[in-house]
Amino acid sequence: MEQLLIDLAAVLAAASPLVIAAMGETLSERAGVINLSLDGTMLLSAMTGFAVALITGNLILGFIAAALVGALVAAVLGLFSLTLGQSQTAVGFVLALLCTDLSSFLGAPFARVPGPSVPFTPIPVLSDLPVFGPLFFRHDPVIYASLLIVPFTAFLLYGTRLGLIVRALGERPAAVYARGVDVTRWRYAMLIAGGALVGIAGAAFSLDLKQGWSYRHTFGSGWIVLAIVIFGGWRPWRVALGCYLFAALELVATRSQSALPDIPTQIVQVAPFVLMILVLALVNLAASPAAARQVMRLPAFWQRPLLAAINRLRATAPAALGQPFERP
């Protein structure tokens, strides 16, 4: 039991950069813009955050620099796709590669150099609570932030009028335009805000969870976050669940070495990535019309609960996701 608690807390901690990045991406995709540059952005901001914190000795400055880098890359993506009308996918992909190489180049002097890290800060009183204490209140500020950002994003999207506008931007920008909102400006805003979060997530890696900087330090995390956002159906809680699932898979992978003596170590590193995509595929498969047709063949007794489950699994993308906005 105690071990389980420790492991759950470890999963919460390990997923924190993913959660922050995924919330950022959820915001921008909800507003209708795919930020495919995520992987590169995270690398570049992880490197910048680490370098700035190392040079200035100030962690806060590091996080700020990382957020700025994330916002900047998002702004470039916005400039090219929203203003200049190029394909979001193409620009995002190119930016992902460009930022990756930029991080390798500019980050070379900081590779595998020891540096500062976010200090452990248990919350007094609360951390002594049974169960909840070790689970939620014995972490560091980055992890607390990741725990808070999920309800915050959910509230922003579903509980506020701003959230209505953001979701409408992704569903039908023309309708938002008709209501007098500057679609492009708001899409920029969401994209940049999301990008800043992605930047912070990068710094959460290099200054906290995977402390330090090395070539392609956050390996593939950005791509997996993009997949998790789809898995989560663009809904903050489910997206967060996806992040925790992935972190749990990684933990299991690390542990599995002793249990599976015939499997080379290096395989288990890749396994969570493959499994995550597989889960995404399975969820999509289960929620597909073909599955619904299969269910229809079953006895009536099973149909209702199964169809309900399928409907719950089904996640529709924002209708205008990735589409350029054209004035009606």
Please list every residue from 156 through 175 that binds another protein, using CB under 8 A: 161, 164-165, 167-168, 171-172, 174-175
CB of 198 to another protein, least distance (A): 17
CA-CA distance, 13 to 121, in Å (whole number)?
Answer: 13
Half-sphere exposure for 81 (CA within 13 Å, toward CB):
29
CB of 90 to another protein, least distance (A): 6
**DSSP line for 166-199:** HHHHHH-HHHHHHTT--HHHHHHHHHHHHHHHHH
CB of 5 to another protein, least distance (A): 10
Report the site for another protein in 262-301 (rule: CB under 8 A). 262-271, 273-274, 276-278, 280-282, 284-285, 288, 290, 293, 296
Reference 51, options 99, 101, 95, 106; nearest CA is 106
CA-CA distance, 18 to 36, in Å (whole number)?
Answer: 15
One-letter amino acid of 57: G
Is 31 exposed, middle or buried (CB count within 10 Å of its CB: 0-12, 13-18, 19+)? Answer: buried
CB of 3 to another protein, least distance (A): 8
Report the site for another protein in 225-264 (rule: CB under 8 A). 226-227, 230, 250-251, 253-255, 257-258, 261-264
Within 10 angstroms of residue 119's Cβ, the number of other Cβ atoms is 9
CB of 302 to another protein, least distance (A): 16
What are the Cα distances from residue 136, in Å, to 6, 55, 133, 143, 239?
A: 11, 32, 6, 9, 19
Within 10 angstroms of residue 260's Cβ, the number of other Cβ atoms is 13
Tell me whether residue 10 or residue 306 sits nearer to another protein (CB atom): 10
Report if residue 220 touches another protein, rule: CB under 8 A: yes
Q: What H or E segment, with its residue span, contains residue 40?
A: helix 38-56
Stretch that binds another protein, among 23-31, 53-61, 67-75, 83-91 (CB under 8 A): 83-91
Given 211, 237, 248, 310, the residue binding another protein (CB under 8 A)? 211
Tell me which residue has tokens 């700025």: 68
Contact letters for another protein, residues 170-209 (x by CB under 8 A): -xx-xxxxxxxxx--------------------------x
Print burial letters for 66-93: b (CB count within 10 Å at least 16), e (below 16): bbbbbbbbbbbbbebbbeeebebeebbe
Report the site for another protein in 87-146 (rule: CB under 8 A). 89-91, 93-95, 97-98, 100-102, 104-106, 108-109, 111-114, 117, 119-120, 122, 138
CA-CA distance, 184 to 78, in Å (whole number)?
Answer: 9
Report the site for another protein in 39-78 (rule: CB under 8 A). none
Stretch that binds another protein, among 66-74, 147-155, 187-195, 219-227 (CB under 8 A): 219-227
CB of 324 to another protein, least distance (A): 8
Residue count at the site for another protein (CB under 8 A)?
Answer: 103
Question: In the numeric block, which tokens belong to residue 133?
Answer: 């204490």
CB of 298 to another protein, least distance (A): 13
**Which residues lie closer than 8 Å to 245 by C-beta, 6 or more apart?**
276, 279
Given 68, 152, 184, 219, the residue binding another protein (CB under 8 A)? 219
Tell me whether residue 10 or residue 310 sits nearer to another protein (CB atom): 10
